């Protein structure tokens, strides 16, 4: 039975991610090491026999920030059409064919607006609040002064998730494999806090209680469903990435 997936990828390393500065609207480029690691991630995870199968991608959502867009450029997806922004560098070469997914830049997955805490580390925030006689700070509970609240994040992500499921998953989920002719997987390239919140809301968790999820720079996560049911969203902790390939080979041999 077909069970669609959502792949979430956090942008590669930047100078600010290295030193823990909250990076929302600031357009900080990837470091050379960040670019190198994303290229390696693409080679390891993208391909007809890998975790992310380009021909199965129905749609790709990318944040408006250059660090996320550059990350997509380096994954080696074999895009058939030009990326919908002024290219930030050379595209990673790829022998992968068959990727027809549209690439869409959307504010729905932009990073959390950190407001007054933009460019500030958690340690500096704690010191500032102590000096002002304020209590401890938890972004999941408190949001950001001058920025977004957990409720605002929840509202924009819930609308995004609802639309994603209707447009790209509903037609395929639970159908017999081989009967679904349209691609159904979705790829999202964005940022640490918003993707952690996205994963939390995917399974209906109140992010104000902290989704207790970690996604490192350049990290990849997978979301899906239990029991081939659109009503049972789940976080995929691990998968048999080669299973579809083995099944196809066995089918061709019969």
The percent helix, strand, coil of the chain (3-state, each to 5) is 35, 15, 50
In what helix (H) or strand (E) does residue 244 lie, and over which residues does it extend? helix 243-253
Q: Binding site membership: which residues?
A: 23-24, 67
Which residue out of 35, 73, 92, 111 is catalytically annotated? 111
H helices then E strands: how many in the chain?
A: 8, 6
11 given a catalytic annotation: yes
Residues 6 or more apart whose CB falls under 8 angstroms from that of 116 comprise: 144, 145, 146, 147
d(CA 71, CA 250): 35
Q: Binding site membership for substrate: which residues?
A: 23-24, 67
Which residue out of 11, 22, 59, 193 is catalytically annotated? 11
Integer angstrom CA distances of residue 190 from 55, 124, 199: 21, 25, 12
> 13-39: buried (b, 16+ CB within 10 Å) or exposed (e) per residue?
bbebbeeebbbbeeebebbeebbebbb
Residues 6 or more apart whose CB falls under 8 angstroms from that of 8 comprise: 188, 190, 195, 198, 199, 215, 220, 221, 222, 223
> 66-94: buried (b, 16+ CB within 10 Å) or exposed (e) per residue?
bbbbbbbbbbbbbbeeebeeeebeebbeb
171 given a catalytic annotation: no
| Active-site residue set | 11, 111
């Amino acid at each position: 039975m077909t069970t669609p997936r959502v792949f979430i990828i956090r942008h590669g390393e930047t100078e600010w991610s290295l030193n823990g500065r909250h990076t929302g609207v600031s357009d900080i480029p990837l470091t050379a090491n960040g670019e190198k690691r994303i290229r390696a991630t693409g080679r390891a995870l993208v391909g007809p026999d890998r975790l992310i199968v380009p021909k199965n991608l129905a749609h790709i959502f990318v944040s408006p920030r250059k660090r996320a867009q550059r990350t997509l450029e380096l994954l080696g997806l074999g895009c058939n059409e030009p990326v919908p922004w002024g290219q930030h560098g050379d595209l990673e070469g790829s022998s992968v064919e068959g990727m027809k997914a549209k690439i869409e830049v959307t504010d729905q997955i932009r990073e959390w607006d950190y407001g007054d805490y933009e460019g500030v580390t958690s340690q500096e925030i704690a010191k500032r609040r102590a000096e002002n006689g304020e209590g401890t700070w938890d972004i999941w509970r408190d949001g950001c002064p001058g920025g977004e609240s957990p409720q605002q994040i929840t509202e924009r992500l819930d609308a995004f998730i609802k639309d994603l499921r209707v447009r790209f998953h509903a037609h395929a989920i639970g159908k017999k494999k081989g009967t679904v002719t349209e691609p159904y997987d979705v790829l999202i390239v964005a940022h640490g806090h918003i993707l952690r919140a996205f994963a939390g809301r995917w399974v209906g968790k109140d992010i104000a209680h902290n989704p207790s999820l970690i996604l490192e720079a350049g990290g990849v996560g997978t979301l899906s469903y239990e029991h081939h049911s659109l009503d049972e969203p789940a976080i995929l902790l691990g998968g048999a990435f080669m299973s579809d390939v083995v099944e196809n080979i066995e089918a061709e041999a019969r």
